[in-house]
Amino acid sequence: MKKNNIPLNFREKNNSRISLLCSAAVLIVLVFLMHQLDYGLITKPEEKAAQEAQKKEEEAKKAAETPEITTASVIAVGDNLYHSKLYESGEYDSGNWNYDHIYANVLDEIQAADVAMIDQETVFAPDHDSVSTYPSFATPQEVGDAIIKAGFDVVESATNHADDYGYDYLKTTLDFWSSKYPTIPVLGIHSTQEDADIVKVKEVNGIRIAFLDYTYGTNNSGAGEGYEYMIDIFDKDKITTMIQKAKSICDCLIFVAHWGTEDETMPNEYEKQWAAFLMEQGVDVIIGGHPHVLQPYGRLSDDQGHSTLVFYSLGNFVSTQQELPELLEGMASFTIQKTTLNGKSTIEILSPEVKPMVMHYNHDAGEYGPYMLSDYTEELASQHSVRNVIGDEFTLANLQAKFKEIMSMNVKPSTNTNLLNVKFDWQGNMIDKTTGNVVEDTESIHSWEYLSSSGDTSDSSGTGDSSDTGDSSDTGDSSDTGDSSEDDGDSYDESYDSSYDDGSYDESYDN
């Protein structure tokens, strides 16, 4: 029994140890719980916040290193030139005039583009009784309604026909656009000096596109004294100033040029000198018109880093002319791509192309309007009224061959500058603005000379291009469909020799 009698002090020591162990265990549990509580309430949120901050930082860094890319698709067509058979096709017994039918076959291409440009070659008549054709054109205002309804949203108007009726019809035209379609950029003609000093800009998908539009000259004497601002005519100093103004407010600059020799598929020296100058000034795209026939296109660049895409001529868009090359036409197509990285933006012009088209008309059936050449058929070609004039030369196969021939021509760029300071007198002579002397162009070449020298002596359309290449002014359209007396009304003619100047530019063609 003695051995069960544990001394009191031993029991107390044992109980103390047990209490100590229990306290230690409780303390350990409390420490663990506090640690877990601290981790759950403080450390874990801090780690999560740090991870999220790091993730955001990585995403921001990645975003800073990943460019933002936006695009805008652009199409452009040539001269919207209404001869009498065309405007008569829109006159209805009800008294209404309408021209929606003219554009019915190409609506998809026009409306698919972010920007669709058209050259409205002529001014609008104040009323139906004032509508006229060659030699002075005044087009029904309903044509303006039709082109906007078709989907065109940039209208080019600096042409040699802009002053066919002087100030009054110019004002009528400008009033039509400002009252009915005030948001449509109308280029090349102006109601005030203030408007002439403004660069027209259209923003598409975050890309600011600026437009300028100039003509080599006009058929008459302008809108009158004191109204010189109404028509934009090629002038080196003015164009330089306007390009600088445009470049300061836009991402991309498109320059429309009314230039070249009528019925000539090879660009002349005037075109080539101005194209090189415009490239050096920073123009991104040049869209040319006036020759009424197609000319080649390509990228023009130099060793200073300048580059531009130039469509020398898109030919007609709507007309009733009477030669196969005048009825073959093109739709320029390209994409503007804007790339923004670290707050800095760059522009690229991608996928340039000229899509071949043909202007179809059948007077007997009352059918008028352009087609994409890919949609045209030999059956339609066989029904074309131009065959009454030029016979079976007009076929789909010949249209295709002529397009291939034109686009295969290599345009040798010019480094000359002697034609940048000329104007044109009423006879079509180029006059030096400083000296008043006639300036001769000895550098241009005919397309038939080019084809002959290149070994291609065949004329794929059967018509031949025998007109002058070097004249930047008009030679006269001797044809019109339906009214043999009608013409485009251009009266200039100059001749040049076929020599080329070796230059430092490089031009390649995407055919």
Q: Which of 173-182, 313-322, 398-407, 477-486 has the lowest mean pLDDT?
A: 477-486
pTM: predicted TM-score of the whole model, two decimal places: 0.81
Q: Tell me whether strands 200-204 and 186-187 are parallel, antiparallel or unpaired.
A: unpaired
Residue 480: its pLDDT value, please? 38
Contact 84, 321 (CB under 8 A): no
Query: Residue 208 and residue 202: Cα distance in Å, rounded?
Result: 6
Residue 502: its pLDDT value, please? 32
Structure tokens at 318: 């709507």
Is the pLDDT at 501 greater than 50? The verdict is: no
**pLDDT tens column, 428-437:** 889 999 999 9
End-to-end CA distance of the chain: 120
Query: Residue 509 and residue 300: Cα distance in Å, rounded?
Result: 9
Residue 3: its pLDDT value, please? 52
Output 301 or 476, whichever has higher pLDDT: 301
Q: Which residues fall within 8 angstroms of residue 222, CB to CB, at 6 or more apart?
A: 163, 166, 228, 230, 231
Give mean pLDDT, residues 59-77: 86
**pLDDT tens column, 146-199:** 999 999 999 999 999 999 999 999 999 999 999 999 999 999 999 999 999 999
Query: Residue 81 and residue 78: Cα distance in Å, rounded?
Result: 9
What are φ and ψ of residue 46, in 5° steps? -65, -40
> What is the maximal distance between C-alpha atoms in the chain?
149
Give mean pLDDT, residues 383-393: 97
**pLDDT tens column, 125-137:** 999 999 999 889 9
Residue 89: its pLDDT value, please? 97
Output 474 or 22, whichever has higher pLDDT: 22
- Residue 125, CA distances (Å) to 31, 86, 132 in order: 95, 15, 8
Q: Which residues fall within 8 angstroms of residue 231, CB to CB, at 6 or more apart?
A: 158, 162, 163, 170, 188, 189, 190, 215, 218, 222, 223
Mapped onto helix, strand or coil, the DSSP state of residue 133 is: coil
**pLDDT tens column, 20-44:** 788 888 878 877 777 777 777 777 7
Residue 188: its pLDDT value, please? 98
pLDDT-derived band at 496, boundaries 50, 70, 90: very low
pLDDT-derived band at 51, boundaries 50, 70, 90: confident
CA 200 to chain centre: 14
Residue 425: its pLDDT value, please? 87
Is the pLDDT at 498 greater than 60? The verdict is: no
Residue 459: its pLDDT value, please? 41
Residue 210: its pLDDT value, please? 98
Query: Residue 123 and residue 346: Cα distance in Å, rounded?
Result: 37
pLDDT-derived band at 500, boundaries 50, 70, 90: very low
Q: Which residues fall within 8 angstroms of residue 454, CB to CB, at 6 or more apart?
A: none
Query: Residue 207 and residue 346: Cα distance in Å, rounded?
Result: 11
Structure tokens at 303: 């060793």
135: preceding bond cis by omega (within 30 degrees): yes
Query: Residue 399 and residue 212: Cα distance in Å, rounded?
Result: 32
Query: Residue 264 and residue 293: Cα distance in Å, rounded?
Result: 7
**pLDDT tens column, 70-79:** 999 999 999 9
**pLDDT tens column, 227-240:** 999 999 999 999 99
Amino acid (1-letter code) at residue 334: F
pLDDT-derived band at 507, boundaries 50, 70, 90: very low
Is the pLDDT at 490 greater than 50? The verdict is: no
Give me the numbers of helices (H) and strands (E) for the chain, helices first please: 14, 19
**pLDDT tens column, 328-375:** 999 999 999 999 998 899 999 999 999 999 999 999 999 999 999 999
Contact 428, 217 (CB under 8 A): no
Residue 461: its pLDDT value, please? 37
Residue 457: its pLDDT value, please? 46
For the chain, domain boundaries: 68-408
Is the pLDDT at 274 greater than 60? The verdict is: yes
Fold of domain 68-408: Purple Acid Phosphatase; chain A, domain 2 (3.60.21)
Contact 265, 467 (CB under 8 A): no
Residue 142: its pLDDT value, please? 98
Structure tokens at 429: 């002579």
What own/partner pairs with CB < 8 Å and gap ≥ 24 does 234-238 have?
234/259, 234/274, 236/277, 236/420, 236/421
**Number of Cα atoms under 13 Å in the Cβ half of residue 333:** 15
Specify the DSSP class assigned to residue 162.
T
Residue 380: its pLDDT value, please? 98
User: For the chain, what is the mean pLDDT?
Assistant: 87
pLDDT-derived band at 63, boundaries 50, 70, 90: low
Is the pLDDT at 387 greater than 60? The verdict is: yes
Is the pLDDT at 479 greater than 60? The verdict is: no
Give DSSP secondary structure letters for 200-267: EEEEETTEEEEEEEEES--SSS-S-TT-GGGB-B--HHHHHHHHHHHHTT-SEEEEEEE-S-TT-SS-
* Dihedral sign computed on CA atoms, order 304, 309, 315, 318: negative
**Which span out of 401-405, 460-464, 496-500 was modeled with the highest average pLDDT?**
401-405
Show the 3-state SS of 341-369. Answer: ECCEEEEEEEEEEEEEEEEEEECCCCEEE
Is the pLDDT at 262 greater than 60? The verdict is: yes
Give mean pLDDT, residues 206-231: 95
